[in-house]
């Protein structure tokens, strides 16, 4: 892999860290800034909303900019947001800093994944994309626990300074190592928007929202599930989440190779595996040992969908993949919003926590159905020219 791909992965690590670490620092932030826990929680949901808005918007508005300049600009905006967050004198400034970082998040990841895929041969593109994404998954495995520990001992601002340092190093690497692209390689707004409206691209986006929405329907409530259903002590929940994080890292890297070898089957295959694991989790959640194994497999299956779904939409977008890739990043974050809402609605309706796993499996199955519909459409489109040739013969 070119060293520039590792620079992109370091940027993804900083981005993943700033997205998820706030959840572990909410009490510290709320106490220091004199706000309620629900108000501090808006720093998490507001960030996700910023990614959903910023990914397609910034990518569309900067479609004609050369790719390396685009990546350094997005990372510069993220770095500014991180510094502003670390220095924030109050809640409002912290929210502004988080919003700036969120706007850059989706746009950088969308463009960065495309850039990484174009630095390597066709048969290694899945691995290149999964390597960039692994920066964010590594943040969930190592960065979030370490960032939370640093924030609890040195103050939450220290965690944001760690993010800032990682982002600055990553920015320097991108600025010096990522090769320049032709101006046209970044795409033009009209071409990108036309591509985004095409039916195969829309089906791929819907696959992402539904398929990954099943993950967050279950995982959002995994701490309560582990304590109330499985019977773990609350002090051991962190080890459950680390098992999930380790699974995400392994699953993401393996899925890159699988995507390179079986590009057409990778997306539906990964969704089949995810739906099966979630369905099995409905049963294994009642046993501690089985839960530990299933949680690891859950993480692997969940993040094993990232590279295949990203590769699928880039394939559908053809010569204009940048905006489609960034919009797919937004689709993942939209799933992060819808999944918890579905899970919360089921709990409010009186269903048990174990039911959330079955609901997640059904949600993912809907994504699988959309993916299979897209494959059927692909085969029909391929068969039509062949049939015409046979008629002519």
| Cβ proximity of 295 and 247 under 8 Å | yes
What does the alpha-carbon distance between residue 173 and residue 170 come to, in Å, rounded to a whole number?
Answer: 5
For residues 181-201, average pLDDT: 67
Q: Which has the higher per-residue pLDDT, 381 or 74?
A: 74
| Cβ proximity of 55 and 105 under 8 Å | yes
What structural domains and CATH numbers belong to the chain? 1-185 (1.20.1250.20), 187-381 (1.20.1250.20)
- Tell me the two tokens of residue 282: 């409905």
pLDDT digits over 340-390, tens only? Answer: 888 888 988 999 999 999 999 999 999 999 999 887 776 665 544 433 332
What is each CA distance from 149 to 72, 98, 142, 145, 154, in whole angstroms? 30, 20, 11, 6, 8
What pLDDT is attached to residue 381?
Answer: 55
Percent with pLDDT over 90 in the chain: 32
For residues 85-103, average pLDDT: 91
What does the alpha-carbon distance between residue 383 and residue 379 come to, in Å, rounded to a whole number?
Answer: 6
Q: Is the pLDDT of residue 14 over 50?
A: yes
For residues 271-276, average pLDDT: 96
pLDDT tier at 196, thresholds 50, 70, 90: confident
DSSP secondary structure of 124-173: GHHHHHHHHHHHHHHIIIIIHHHHHHHHHHH-HHHHHHHHHHHHHHHHHH
Which pTM does this prediction carry? 0.77
What does the alpha-carbon distance between residue 351 and residue 62 come to, in Å, rounded to a whole number?
Answer: 46
Q: Is the pLDDT of residue 179 over 90?
A: no
Percent with pLDDT over 70 in the chain: 91
Burial class (CB in 10 A: 0-12, 13-18, 19+), 121: exposed
- Please, which residues have CB within 8 angstroms of residue 148's CB and are 6 or more apart in sequence? 21, 24, 25, 159
| Biggest CA-to-CA distance, the chain | 78
pLDDT digits over 294-347, tens only? Answer: 999 999 999 899 889 988 888 887 766 777 887 888 888 888 778 888 888 898
Quick one: CA torsion of 171, 123, 335, 110, rounded to 10 degrees? 30
- Tell me the two tokens of residue 211: 């398929």
pLDDT digits over 244-270, tens only? Answer: 888 988 898 888 888 888 888 888 999
pLDDT tier at 189, thresholds 50, 70, 90: low
| Cβ proximity of 248 and 302 under 8 Å | yes
């Amino acid at each position: 892999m070119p060293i520039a791909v590792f620079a992109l992965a370091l940027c993804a690590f900083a981005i993943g860290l700033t997205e998820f670490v706030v959840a572990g620092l909410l009490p510290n932030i709320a106490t220091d800034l004199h706000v309620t826990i629900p108000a501090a929680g808006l720093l998490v949901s507001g960030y996700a909303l910023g990614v959903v808005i910023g990914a397609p918007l910034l990518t569309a508005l900067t479609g004609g900019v050369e790719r390396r300049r685009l990546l350094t600009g997005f990372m510069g905006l993220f770095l500014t947001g991180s510094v502003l967050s670390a220095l924030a004198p109050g809640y409002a400034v912290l929210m502004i800093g988080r919003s700036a970082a969120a706007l850059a998040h989706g746009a950088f990841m969308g463009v960065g994944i495309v850039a990484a895929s174009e630095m390597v041969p066709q048969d290694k593109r899945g691995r290149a994309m999964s390597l960039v994404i692994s920066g964010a998954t590594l943040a969930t495995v190592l960065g979030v626990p370490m960032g939370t520990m640093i924030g609890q001992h040195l103050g939450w601002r220290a965690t944001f300074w760690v993010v800032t340092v990682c982002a600055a190093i990553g920015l320097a690497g991108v600025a010096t190592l990522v090769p320049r692209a032709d101006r046209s390689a970044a795409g033009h707004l009209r071409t990108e928007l036309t591509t985004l409206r095409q039916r195969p691209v829309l089906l791929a986006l819907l696959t992402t929202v539904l398929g990954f929405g099943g993950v967050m329907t279950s995982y959002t409530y995994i701490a309560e599930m582990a304590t109330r259903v499985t019977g773990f002590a609350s002090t051991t929940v962190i080890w459950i989440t680390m098992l999930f994080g380790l699974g995400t890292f392994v699953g993401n890297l393996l899925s890159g190779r699988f995507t390179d070898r079986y590009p057409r089957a990778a997306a539906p295959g990964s969704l089949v595996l995810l739906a099966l694991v979630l369905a099995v989790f409905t049963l294994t959640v009642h046993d501690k040992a089985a839960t530990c194994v299933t949680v690891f497999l859950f993480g692997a299956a969940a993040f094993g969908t990232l590279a295949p779904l990203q590769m699928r939409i880039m394939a559908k977008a053809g010569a204009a993949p940048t905006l489609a890739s960034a919009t797919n990043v937004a689709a993942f974050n939209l799933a992060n919003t819808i999944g918890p809402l579905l899970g919360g609605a089921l709990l409010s309706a009186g269903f048990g926590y174990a039911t959330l796993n079955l609901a997640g499996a059904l949600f993912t199955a809907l994504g699988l159905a959309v993916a299979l519909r897209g494959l059927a459409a692909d085969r029909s489109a391929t068969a039509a020219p062949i049939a015409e040739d046979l008629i002519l013969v």
